[in-house]
A and B are shown apart, each in its own frame.
Chain A
Amino acid sequence: MSGRGVSISFGGMKAVDGVDFDLREGEILGLIGPNGAGKTTLFNIISGFLQASGGEIIFGGGKISGLKPDKICRAGIARTFQSARNFPGFTVRDNVLMGALFGKPGKTRAQAERTADSTLEFTGLDKYAGMYVSDIPLSAQKRLEVARALATEPRVLMLDEVMAGLNPAEVEDAMALVREIRGRGVSVIMIEHVMKAIMSICDRIIALHHGRLIADGAPSEITENKQVAEIYLGEA
């Protein structure tokens, strides 16, 4: 997946400004930047939730920018939301089943059920399967967000702060999960503020500031990048 010159403005303010990026096959790409840098906005553009005002996004040989979210999902790009947006009226299993049922065209009900069950097991949510979202802990709700996206069997998974609000042990678990997801051949692009996590699991990191791309490189290069350090230290 790659983006060229991706831009969007809200009332004259350029929230994302000419961003070029590439996500390679099987890679874990980190997306960092201070609050308001345009990270989630970029996610929203990729997932079709917002329409870019400039540039284009290419995936699997075709242009996907301009498509609606359901088409982009079925093309193989799934995402999570920063604030969990689960289906409160469904059980945990049904939440995941919906992803399996609608995310991939041409699946029978039985196939979808199998996908749902294996995804529940893979994400360690099987013990909550029959419960409702409001009855499970926050860390499980975050996992459910990931599980629902995974059940659509994506080739690219976009994770928006799935580790926010988790305790250190839960962050470790979440990191292991992300590695396992990549192990299944899914490319991952993740927004994260938990620096320790992002530095240790990402193959490459890109940094945004005021909607512009300011750095792109391996984690070690990013930590030495002056501009990134300035922004983060300047904030602190």
Chain B
Amino acid sequence: MAFIKRVLPGTARGRLHLGALICVAAFLAVFPGVSRPYTTIFTASILMYIILSLSWTFFSGKTGYISLATAAFYGIGMYIEAILGRYIPLPAAMLVAAAAGFLIAAGIGAITLRLRGVYFTIFTFGLVLLLQNLVLWIEIRFFHTKGRIVTSGDFTFVYYCILAVFVILLIAAVIMRRSRFGLALECIGQNEDSAAHIGVDTTRTKILAFAVSAAPVSAVGAAMATRVGYIDPNIAFNLLMSFMPVLMAIFGGTHSLYGPVFGALVLTLLEEKLIRGYQEYYMIIFGAVMIIAVSFMPKGAAGIAESVFLKLRRRLRPRSHPRNDGGARDE
């Protein structure tokens, strides 16, 4: 009970958010029963992108270390399902994938998270290419093949597996927000030197966060592998999967949980519309949207929403300054 009390948001606003989340989760849970198969499959894709961009935001959004390794962990998950899918059920393969993603990310983090800034980004970028070529070499050298057939799964079941990851991720994100671990990450993002000097073990915190953020990505990779039927290193380690979550998170805004969710939702819909309607122009339009988003919305869509909300509130309650209502007394 005490635990539940500690985790539950104390403010009315917090409870409102929680209520909204439960409603969304409940709706998503009954969704496949009332929608057409195509819509269910497409919604699973949206959820997949939301999970990827939330995971990315959890580490990179908080710490400011921009990771382009998402495709690496995603691909690892895909390969684990391709190898194990015949022997064990999907949820078990997803757990194995999550564990593998966690461990590999921890190892990579231990090597690279001593690097700062752009070096870390370039390393993670190179990691995707490295894995892609390494796996290709292993496949050809030892298995005399380039790709693998993946046992396909029932799309509704896959949908529920991905939904489960989404719900677990949201709960974890909410709990971590004000946890010691979450605050340590926040401190690192705001000023890493200060964080170290007040006793935050910055290296350990960064490595752990990077590893935690990789686990859901690999799990979802395993689930999505069952949908493609066939994978090879180029399909599994597709760099686009590294860039999309970054774009979605930046588009939506990395300072709140809603930002990446909103960004992933809008951009997945946009991508779908563009691919179906304007195949040739898809990348051009998509690129233009991103340039506009980055230039004019530094805090993303969530940042715009917040400033509109604050303006409205100021107009309604002109005398309260929104930034000092945290208990500051007037001088």
User: C-beta contact mask, A74-100 vs B, less than 8 Å → 1, else 0?
Assistant: 100011010001111111010000110
In contact, B197 and A49 (Cβ under 8 angstroms): yes
Residues of A within 8 A of B (CB): 47-49, 68-70, 73-74, 78-79, 81, 85-91, 93, 98-99, 101-105, 109, 127-132, 135, 148-149, 151-152
6 sample A-B contacts, Cβ–Cβ < 8 Å, listed by A number = A70-B197, A70-B199, A70-B202, A81-B194, A130-B327, A149-B198
Residues of B within 8 A of A (CB): 180, 183-184, 186-187, 189-191, 193-203, 323-329, 331
A47's contact among B197, B325, B331, by CB below 8 Å, is which? B197
Q: How far is the CB of A62 from chain B (nearest CB, A)?
A: 17
In contact, A102 and B198 (Cβ under 8 angstroms): yes
B194's contact among A74, A87, A101, A135, by CB below 8 Å, is which? A87
Q: How far is the CB of B220 from chain A (nearest CB, A)?
A: 29
On chain B, the residues within 8 Å of A149 by CB distance are 197-198
In contact, B194 and A85 (Cβ under 8 angstroms): yes
Q: How far is the CB of B325 from chain A (nearest CB, A)?
A: 7
In contact, B190 and A130 (Cβ under 8 angstroms): no
In contact, A68 and B196 (Cβ under 8 angstroms): yes
In contact, B199 and A131 (Cβ under 8 angstroms): no
Docked complex Cα distance between A88 and B200 (Å) = 17
On chain B, the residues within 8 Å of A99 by CB distance are 198-199
Docked complex Cα distance between A93 and B324 (Å) = 12
Docked complex Cα distance between A152 and B198 (Å) = 7
Q: How far is the CB of B17 from chain A (nearest CB, A)?
A: 19
Docked complex Cα distance between A102 and B180 (Å) = 8
Q: Which residue of A lies closest to B201 (CB)?
A: A70
On chain B, the residues within 8 Å of A70 by CB distance are 196-197, 199-202
Docked complex Cα distance between A68 and B198 (Å) = 11
In contact, A101 and B180 (Cβ under 8 angstroms): yes
Docked complex Cα distance between A104 and B202 (Å) = 15
A73's contact among B183, B187, B199, B327, by CB below 8 Å, is which? B199
Q: How far is the CB of A159 from chain B (nearest CB, A)?
A: 13
Q: Which residue of B lies closest to A134 (CB)?
A: B323
Docked complex Cα distance between A211 and B324 (Å) = 45
On chain A, the residues within 8 Å of B197 by CB distance are 47, 49, 69-70, 73, 78-79, 81, 149
In contact, A131 and B329 (Cβ under 8 angstroms): no
In contact, A87 and B187 (Cβ under 8 angstroms): yes
On chain B, the residues within 8 Å of A105 by CB distance are 199
On chain B, the residues within 8 Å of A78 by CB distance are 197-198
Docked complex Cα distance between A31 and B180 (Å) = 35
Docked complex Cα distance between A81 and B198 (Å) = 12
On chain B, the residues within 8 Å of A109 by CB distance are 180
Greatest chain A CB density within 10 A among B197, B201, B202, B329 is at B197
On chain A, the residues within 8 Å of B325 by CB distance are 130
Greatest chain B CB density within 10 A among A93, A98, A103, A129 is at A98
Q: Which residue of A lies closest to B190 (CB)?
A: A87
On chain B, the residues within 8 Å of A93 by CB distance are 326-327
In contact, B328 and A148 (Cβ under 8 angstroms): no
On chain B, the residues within 8 Å of A49 by CB distance are 193, 196-197
In contact, A129 and B194 (Cβ under 8 angstroms): no
Q: How far is the CB of B142 from chain A (nearest CB, A)?
A: 42
Docked complex Cα distance between A148 and B197 (Å) = 10
Docked complex Cα distance between A128 and B331 (Å) = 9
Docked complex Cα distance between A82 and B190 (Å) = 17
Q: How far is the CB of B253 from chain A (nearest CB, A)?
A: 14
Q: Which residue of B lies closest to A72 (CB)?
A: B197
Given A98-B183, A101-B180, A69:B190 Cβ within 8 A: no
In contact, A101 and B191 (Cβ under 8 angstroms): no
Q: How far is the CB of A157 from chain B (nearest CB, A)?
A: 12
On chain B, the residues within 8 Å of A132 by CB distance are 323
In contact, B196 and A130 (Cβ under 8 angstroms): no
Q: How far is the CB of B302 from chain A (nearest CB, A)?
A: 15
On chain B, the residues within 8 Å of A128 by CB distance are 328
On chain A, the residues within 8 Å of B191 by CB distance are 85-88
B328's contact among A87, A89, A127, by CB below 8 Å, is which? A127
On chain A, the residues within 8 Å of B194 by CB distance are 81, 85-87, 148
In contact, B328 and A130 (Cβ under 8 angstroms): yes
Given A69-B197, A70-B200, A148-B198, A98:B323 Cβ within 8 A: no
In contact, B324 and A135 (Cβ under 8 angstroms): yes
On chain B, the residues within 8 Å of A152 by CB distance are 198-199
